[in-house]
A = this chain, B = another copy of it.
Amino acid sequence: MVGRLIALDVMGGDDAPEATLKGALLACSPKSASRVAPERLLLVGDKPRMEAQLKELGGDPGFQLEHASQVIEMGDSPAQALRGKPDSSIMRCVKAVKEGRASAVIGMGNTGACVGAATLALGTIPGVRRAGIAVTLNLTGQPITILDMGANIAPKADHLLQYAAMGSVYAQSCLAQAKPRIGLLNVGEEKGKGTELLKEAYELLEQSGLEFVGNVEGGDIFRGVCDVVVTDGFTGNVILKLLEQFAAFFMGKIVGELKKSGAAAGDEALGKLKSAIDYKSYGGALLLGVNGVVIIGHGRSDEKAVANAIALGVRVADSGVIENIGRGLAAPSRS
């Protein structure tokens, strides 16, 4: 296996570097269910600042630190920032993977810059035409992986086919789903529904040898009819943001209504529910198809979200999913 380090962009995210460093400490805490050895974490950022902050937080448990002199801010234009800030923390993280020192990157910063840096420096896995962003939700007790969530807003049919293939390998490698069922997000279940793109993708998926269950609709995400949902990055991005905000909105409403009615708020119950839908607990999105594990955390990540993103990075890096995708796409038809 290539470098086992997990590179964390300490400077990325709305509350960086405090939230990222706290998250790293939490991921390595003996109390953590999926404890990560501190020496496996490569913390990349402003080194003096990281050292000072770690001291404040109770000391460095043995992280590897790497200095980066620049930071790509959330508001920066990704393309400009990647050219203008060659020594940014995110680019250094990606380079650590490219150089074989690390096998995964965790970034909560500027999503466009993270995707751009990874695509530029790592390239795609041989055979993969376009990377896609995958998010695994645990809504119904059975994980469901949706991709693409925004890397490729105007895909071609063969990109969708590859998303299905990559999503399938990911679900096998990382989620222990033996024969992941693939659904194509559409406006109706019948074959022949939807845009020309989707009709073409349907044909390709039917012939792919994958466990294709046909078209699925928006509501099917909550019905357990498939394990992997394939969609274009535009629709994926819209529904991801919709789900996130709907969940937050809904929780607020529930707490408000219950309080108004004088009913006991059932804090524990609501907490459980919240964690089932909260981005903080799913850890982040996975940029699938680039030649390395890239986890894109949420910009608003707090320490718990960072720790979950690190845990996800470790799990995916150790699963061999990158190698499996390479093999899978070399022989796309497994019939």
Contact = CB atoms under 8 A, between A and B. Distances in A.
A241 interface: yes
A241 B218 contact: yes
Interface in A231-255: 231, 233-235, 237-250, 253-254
Interface stretch (A14-22, A66-74, A268-276): A268-276
A48 interface: no
Nearest to A255: B269
B266 A261 contact: yes
Contacts of A249: 139-140, 222
A187 B237 contact: yes
Interface string A149-160: 010011000000
Binding site secondary structure of chain A: helix
15 contacts: A154-B195, A185-B238, A187-B233, A187-B238, A217-B241, A218-B243, A220-B245, A222-B248, A246-B246, A247-B250, A250-B273, A257-B266, A261-B268, A261-B269, A263-B269
B245 A270 contact: no
B219 A244 contact: yes
A243 to B, nearest CB: 7
B234 A218 contact: no
Contacts of A243: 218, 242, 246
Can you tell how many copies of this chain the complex includes? 2
Contacts of A154: 195-196
A242 B241 contact: no
Contact of A269 (B233, B234, B257): B257
A123 interface: no
A217 B261 CA distance: 33
A221 interface: yes
Interface of A: 139-140, 150, 153-154, 185, 187, 194-196, 217-223, 231, 233-235, 237-250, 253-254, 257-258, 260-261, 263-266, 268-270, 272-273, 276-277
B253 A254 contact: no
The 6 closest A-B pairs by CB, nearest first: A219-B245, A263-B266, A218-B241, A218-B242, A257-B269, A261-B269
A200 to B, nearest CB: 13
A11 B46 CA distance: 70
Given A153-B187, A194-B153, A238 B237 contact: no
A194 B219 CA distance: 24
Nearest to A198: B234
B238 A218 contact: yes
A22 to B, nearest CB: 26
Contacts of A246: 219, 221-222, 243, 246
